[in-house]
Structure 1
Amino acid sequence: MEPLFIFFLLLCNICEVFNDVKTSDIIEETGVKTAKVGQTLTLRCSCQHEAVTCFLWYKQSLGGKPCMISKRLRNSKEAIISSVYKDRFQVVSGPEEGLNDLIIKDLQPSDSGMYYCVVLEFNAIEFGQGIFLRVKAASSNSQLPVQQSTLTPLQIGDSLNLSCSVSAEPCKGEQSLYWLRHTASQPSLMYPSAKSCIGLKNGPLHGVNCTSNLELNSVMSSDAGTYYCALASCGMVVFGEGTNVEILVHSLLVYFLSVALAFSIIGLLVLSFLRHKLKAKLCLSCKGKENNTESLHYAALDLKRVEGQQQEDNAVSICVYSRVRSKKE
């Protein structure tokens, strides 16, 4: 039974070593970054963790799947760029510093999307929080701004209801509307959303106006963050300024959690103290067993017979032995 326990203990230690890289170890830009068509942009990323064996970049367009842009081994200076991105994308590497910056030249509206810096450690893959790149076209100044609703702080369990209105130029193809959530501690998430669009033909307004609502029931603290409304249309993305969603924790809940935490800490301290006392007692018992040897004490008595009794000798020595067992407590 003991060898099996040792095996599982070693297995757990190996798993901890193999899964040591965390999202927080990846140093990168997050949130939303805006650039103009034709510019050259650098997305910063680095990770100095020793367990990293490979660096990658992924791009996820609105409504699309993540696609690999580049792949580079940690000790290699050259990165393998996918054929789709090879013309305008470049990776700046620094094996010693764990550097893995992505350079995009001659930005195009189609470059808009979520970019993830990814590290590989043995057989585990870890995504960074990601950054959303918004590429503005030259004609975007003629569009109406994205209008998002403001929101008061919510309590845990409340319902979240966000709305936005987006105006864009008319174009062929499907126009998709999304909500993007960004937080400081979690990777960004995209929520596809149903939209209602109408044509704008009156006066100076020409194009399409789309509205969308985002509803979340029974919000939790993890739903907090900044929510951006985005319309993918005409090969570009029309982006909102974002709505900050704050989730307040009820004071009574904080009190109960604090009390529970205090009792947990006290319980751990008591258990630790009892464990220490039990261990000390067992050690004393072990020492007692080691010293549980018999000590023999000898006493010699010299007896003389009373006068009048027959004596073979003048004095007879009788030796009486007494055994006394001593035990150290």
Structure 2
Amino acid sequence: MIVLNKFVCYVTVLVLTVIQKIPPVAPQAISVITETLKTVNLGGTVELTCTYDTTTRREDIRIYWLKVKAQGDELILEIPDESTSVVHDPYKGRFKRQGDNNLEINDVVLADAGLYKCNVTTKGVIIQSSSSAVELVVNGTCIPWQMINFNNKI
């Protein structure tokens, strides 16, 4: 209220706010590359490599290594950022992150053979995901100890 020379004036202020909805910018498509086939000897060490191509910032990317199984994919390794990695049970111990995005398996056993997937996923409002798979072949044989004849002399 403003008083001017014995007149009372009321001033109304109208504030108009315009909100413009800006659509989020979609991240670029992700291209994930792994080898298609990798071979390792029983008891050896193998590195499964994963590279990706995208314009999405690294801090907006998560990388997952999974083993493909009949009952569903099992999460092995999660790489949420450049300095962190988490190996999930039952893969702790022999499995680890190597380099930026790779999976290393030590003391390879026959059960390690199979299909592994590297999955690259973006974080944020728009989530994109892409993966590539590599088949791991383990060379070597195991003989059940019950089949070994310990009575034979060499």
TM-score normalised by structure 1 residue count = 0.33
What residue is the counterpart of 1:70 in the other structure? 77
- Count of aligned positions: 120
Report % sequence identity: 23
**Of 31, 39, 48, which aligns to 1:43?**
48
1:88-143 CA distance string (max 9 Å, x none): 001024xxxxx301100011111112111111112525232201112233259xxx
CA distance in 1, matches of 2:41, 2:64: 25
Query: Residue by residue, what CA displacement relative to the aligned partner does 1:227-279 show, whole Å, maximum 9, x if unpaired?
Result: xxxxxxxxxxxxxxxxxxxxxxxxxxxxxxxxxxxxxxxxxxxxxxxxxxxxx
In structure 2, how many angstroms separate the alpha carbons of the residues matched to 1:91 and 1:82?
12
Question: How far apart are the structure 2 equivalents of 1:21 and 1:29?
Answer: 20
CA distance in 1, matches of 2:132, 2:53: 17
Alignment of 1:94-243 (within 5 A): 99-122=100-123, 124-139=127-142
- For 1:44 and 1:79, the matched residues in 2 are separated by 15
Letter in 2 for 1:65: G
Name the residue aligned to 2:13. Answer: none
**CA distance in structure 2 between the partners assigned to 1:27 and 1:34 by the alignment:** 17
Moved over 4 A (4+): none
Contact preservation (8 Å) 1:118, 1:125: no
Report the secondary structure of 1:110's partner residue: helix
Asked whether the equivalents of residues 55 and 73 of structure 1 are also in contact (C-alpha less than 8 Å), the reply is: yes
Q: Relative contact order (alpha carbons < 8 A, sep ≥ 6): 1 or 2 greater?
A: 2
Cα distance change of structure 1 residues 139 and 73 upon mapping to structure 2, 3 Å threshold: closer
Q: Is the 8 A contact 1:21 1:121 kept in 2?
A: no
Larger Rg: 1
Match of 1:82 in 2: 88
2:111 aligned counterpart, secondary structure? helix
Higher helix fraction: Structure 1 or Structure 2? 1
Q: CA RMSD in A?
A: 2.6
What secondary structure sits across from 1:65 in the alignment? coil
> Whole-Å Cα distance in 2 between the matches of residues 139 and 72 of structure 1?
33
> In the alignment, which residue of structure 2 is the partner of 1:282?
none
Q: Structure 2, unaligned stretches of length 5 or more?
A: 1-19, 144-154
Amino acid at match of 1:33: K
1:35 maps to a residue whose letter is V
Runs of 5+ unmatched residues, structure 1:
1-5, 94-98, 141-329
Tell me the amino acid that sits aligned with residue 132 of structure 1: E
